[in-house]
Amino acid sequence: MSNTAIQIEHLSKMYRLGVINNGVLFRDIQTWIALKRGKEDPHSKIGENKYSGDKDHFWALKDLTLDIKQGDRLGIIGKNGAGKSTLLKILSRITTPTEGTVKIKGKVASLLEVGTGFHQELTGRENIYLNGAILGMRKRRIDEKIDEIIAFSGIEHHIDTPVKRYSSGMYVRLAFAVAAHLDSDILIADEVLAVGDAEFQKKALGKMQDLSTGEGRTVLFVSHNMSAVKNLCNTGVVIEKGEIKFNCEIQKTIEKYLINQELRSQESLSEIKERAGNGSLRFTKIEFLDNNNNVRDTFKTGEDLKIKVFFDYNTTMENSIISQIDIGINDSLDTRVSWLSTSIFTDKIDYKKKYICFKIKKLLLMEGVYNLNLFCSTNLGVADHIINVCKLNIVFDDFWKTGRKTSLNNQGFLVTDFNLE
């Protein structure tokens, strides 16, 4: 473990649903003795269906094995409920594993949720000393750091106020400042940074990067903000249903995660009842594709995007011509930011292939979630019109290489180049 900060071997965590113990004191003692001796819990499920779970058991983590090197900035990615927070709680020694071992080299500072480790009745200043004492620091060492901690937190005017009167933003500012500046070898940060404002998030991410590159600390970072993970971390893991599905350098890890997300775009549109039109043509499916024809619903700013729309028609369409197929892209406030239409092309659409594919070069949409509307008209009138068909997720990428989020015009309208495939 010379260059390894954290070594995880066959780590599993089982929760018993509905109860907090085995229900019998004797069994609780057996479980405790087994874990102390490094043996399996005699009351956990064993055999080939060990991790399948049942109505009384839930495996939050399943047989995780991972080595984290000293100075690594590890991004832990996954959906809600994947097991990310459970892993961090085990590494922080808040909870114990059901099976497996964790070896940690050095002191750990954790920032798992707002207010963790703070005493409500103590002031911000007193909580700094309390957290330092928990980490094993002497008062003289904390005295040397306290001015720097208070300045970084940006809450100087409230530092002698009991933290029970702090807002969630003030909590996280002080908690991060304490965790980042006190003597620790490993810093663990959960999604809690999302509570802070944009300015503080940027400062916090910069500080974590400095701790890793400048001081050699190991950083574990959990976030659903892919841009933050990409900017901070150099390696990453994807956790899905308690298992590690992918472990590589951060760029490939993020791409793998985005490709394998559960896609609403693959859902059938045929069953949607809230639609208008005469029914001569019906949209059946919509897909978002990258340049490698991988189906995804999350793309980065500046990335190429194909939107493929499938449809079907009845016998009334045999002698008809599609006038246009339109895709409207609306932001989260339902404001139209883009409109793609076949009407600008002079060639007739070959509707016999029953799909149309728009190719967008360098999608210049800001970070956010966008709703898509579909519309089709023929010489017989409006054939089909569906509002809010599916969602398109856009994550920030430094497309202009400025270090800042991409800026469009004041209205945020899409300015892009598109064509038909």
Local confidence band at 45 (pLDDT 50, 70, 90 cut-offs): low
Q: Report the topology of domain 264-420.
A: Coagulation Factor XIII; Chain A, domain 1 (2.70.50)
The pLDDT tens digits for 348-373 are: 566 678 888 888 888 878 777 788 88
DSSP symbol at 305: E
Q: Look at residues 349, 359, 364, 350 and name the one whose alpha carbon lies nearest to residue 400.
A: 364
Local confidence band at 125 (pLDDT 50, 70, 90 cut-offs): very high
Q: So what's the pLDDT on residue 159? A: 92
The pLDDT tens digits for 160-217 are: 999 889 887 888 888 888 888 877 888 888 876 666 677 777 788 888 888 878 778 8
Percent of the chain with pLDDT over 70: 78
Cα distance between residue 232 and residue 205, in whole Å: 6
Domain ranges of the chain: 70-259, 264-420
CA triple 158-160-164, angle to 5 deg: 75
Task: Tell me how many helices (H) and strands (E) the chain has.
Answer: 8, 19
More confident residue, 318 or 211: 211
Query: Which is it for strands 235-240 and 73-77: parallel, antiparallel or unpaired?
Result: parallel
Task: Decide if 249 contacts 234 (C-beta within 8 A).
Answer: yes
Give φ, ψ of 152 to 5 degrees.
-65, -35
Task: Decide if 222 contacts 76 (C-beta within 8 A).
Answer: yes
Report CA-CA distances (Å) from 73 to 162, 217, 389. 33, 9, 38
The pLDDT tens digits for 69-82 are: 988 999 999 888 88
* Architecture of the CATH domain 70-259: 3-Layer(aba) Sandwich (3.40)
Local confidence band at 260 (pLDDT 50, 70, 90 cut-offs): low
Task: Decide if 337 contacts 370 (C-beta within 8 A).
Answer: yes
Helical spans, DSSP H, in 154-249: 168-181, 198-215, 226-232
Local confidence band at 48 (pLDDT 50, 70, 90 cut-offs): very low
Q: So what's the pLDDT on residue 413? A: 38
Local confidence band at 398 (pLDDT 50, 70, 90 cut-offs): low
The amino acid sitting at 420 is L
Local confidence band at 115 (pLDDT 50, 70, 90 cut-offs): low
Percent of the chain with pLDDT over 90: 9
pTM, full prediction: 0.63
Q: Look at residues 256, 249, 243, 257 and name the one whose alpha carbon lies nearest to residue 86.
A: 243
Cα distance between residue 366 and residue 408, in whole Å: 8
Q: Given a cut of 60, is residue 419 above it in pLDDT?
A: yes
More confident residue, 345 or 295: 295
